[in-house]
Every structure is written in structure tokens, then in C-alpha cells.
Amino acid sequence: MSNHLRIGMGIGHGDVFWVQVQEAIYRRCAGHPVELIPIIRSSFFSALTVDEKNALLEEIAAQELDVLIGWSFPETLAYTVLDMGVPIVHLFETVIEHPLSVSPIGLQKIAEGLAHHLATLLNCRGNILVIGGSTRDDLPDDGRSRICGIQNTFREYPDIHFHHIPSDWSHDKAASDIYAALKTWEYPIDAIYGLSDSLALLGQQIALELGFCTANPIVVGINGDPLGLAAVIEGRMAATVETSATNLGNQAFDIALSIATGQPYPFARDFADPARG
């Protein structure tokens, strides 16, 4: 019988940010008596069938996990896992309320702050293309909190008009979503706001290719990943907000370890580091 704690990893793929979070968790795990157990499904970008849902729950039960980091599956299924006695340390905001559920906070606040900054850069007028999320209502977050923050902010600026393109988080699927939306586009694009840095840069590339904006549109994104920071330095992006993948991964692992060893832990933890731009 192993003395190692068993911590599940239910992290979806698609954006480089989540790859970095996963890498940070594995690094943080080194030296601890912990076995990390990936909870894998064939595709994170399609809806689960009833059989797939049952198989997922059976897999989690069979793994005898002490705690699970990340929940990239349908949100309603989380309650079944939590009721099984498996705590979940979420990696993004969620509406799930349960004594064994831990969730970070702050993405709405981040989105609001970046929206105010973008409004200032635009002198409080213009058309803003917002890209990302809102394609899977059954999944946790999926950009909901960020879109809410952006909507709340731009209501304060009557001469700003923002247009949201829902999109997947993976490059190829997001590109298809953006191309499809811009086929019938009717507005000039003065600025692009990506719910991630990679979506911001992808939207810029496609909008330029299709002739909807000038060579230097104002582009902002969220995450502060290496591509985003490089784009800021090179002048291709005006700003990014750093949500440190390393800090998020480290904090998630530390909280999971505290739960697994019976130590006190916070129910919420803020997301962001200071903005860069």
C-alpha cells in the first residue's frame, strides 16, 4: 500500500497558460510524498455523452483520490464528485458552492481594470472587438466572469461599442470561430480585447488579414504569458494583465496538499499580479 497522497489533475488543454499551470504543479510536487494522477478525457472541447460522464465519475471513484486539482468538465458533475467526498481545488472562478469546493476569485475585477485602461487608450470612444469564451455554458467559467466585468465597465462609456465573438480557447478552433464571425462583420475595429493573450493576438492577425483594422490596432489581453509579454515589448500589444501561471499552479498545489493532510486552507484566493503594459 503506497504512503503517497493521491492528487488528481483535471486540467483542460488548449491555451498555453494552462500548460504552464500544469507544469508549475508538477514542479511544486517534486520532493513531496504525492502522486499526481491525470484525469484525462479524449477531448475537452466537445460535450460529454451520458456514457462518457459515467465513465469519468467511475474513473475518479476508482482512483481513490485525496483531492482533485482543476475541474474542466461539466459543472453539474462536480457536485457528484464533491458528494463522493473528493475535494476540488478549482483553477478558475465557479458558481459551485460546496464545503469541499475551493475556488479562486478576481477574474471579473481583472477584466474591469483592463477595460477601463483600454477605454482610456481609445479616448473613451470606438468599436472594440472582444474575443473568447461563452461557447460552453455547461463548463466552469468559460469566460463568464470576464465578459460580465467588460460589460459592466463599458456601460460607463456611452461612445464605446463592444462586440463579442464567442470562441473556443484552442488556437485552431478559435481561429475557425473568429473567421466565421468576421465573414458578416459590419464595423471597423478600433481595438481588440482578448480574454487571453493568445486570443488577442489571433484576433489581431485575422482582423488584419480580412482588412477590418489598421496595421496598428490597440490590442490588449489577459494572462501575461510569454507570447503576450513579447508582443507588448515589440509594440504589437498595448497591455496585458499578468495572471501568473506559476503562482496559480503553486497555490493550487499548496491548498490541495493542505486539504489532503488535514491542514487549514482558504476557500478563495485572488488571481492576479499587477498589470503590464
- Could you tell me the CATH number of the domain that includes residue 101? 3.40.50.2300
Who has greater pLDDT, 135 or 83?
83
Q: How far is CA 220 from CA 25, 121, 211, 231, in A?
A: 27, 11, 19, 10
Residues 171 and 55 both lie in one domain? no
Residues 6+ apart with CB under 8 A from 105: 93, 268, 269, 270, 271
Confidence band (pLDDT; 50, 70, 90) for 23?
very high
pLDDT digits (tens, 9 = 90+) for 107-163: 888 899 999 999 999 999 999 999 998 776 666 667 888 899 999 999 999 999 989
pLDDT digits (tens, 9 = 90+) for 173-202: 899 999 999 988 888 899 999 999 999 999
Confidence band (pLDDT; 50, 70, 90) for 271?
low
Residues 46 and 81 both lie in one domain? yes
Show the domain range for 133: 107-242
Please report the sign of the dihedral spanned by the C-alpha atoms of residue 95, residue 105, residue 113, residue 15: negative
Q: How far apart are CA 163 and CA 87, in angstroms?
A: 38
Confidence (pLDDT) at 274: 42
Residues 69 and 127 both lie in one domain? no
* Number of domains making up the chain: 2
Residues 136 and 210 both lie in one domain? yes
**What phi, psi does 126 have (nearest 5°)?**
135, 175
Residues 230 and 267 both lie in one domain? no
Residues 112 and 233 both lie in one domain? yes
pTM of the entire predicted model: 0.79
Who has greater pLDDT, 108 or 25?
25
Residues 15 and 39 both lie in one domain? yes
Residues 235 and 119 both lie in one domain? yes
pLDDT digits (tens, 9 = 90+) for 52-66: 889 889 999 999 999
Confidence (pLDDT) at 223: 86
Residues 116 and 126 both lie in one domain? yes
Residues 144 and 232 both lie in one domain? yes
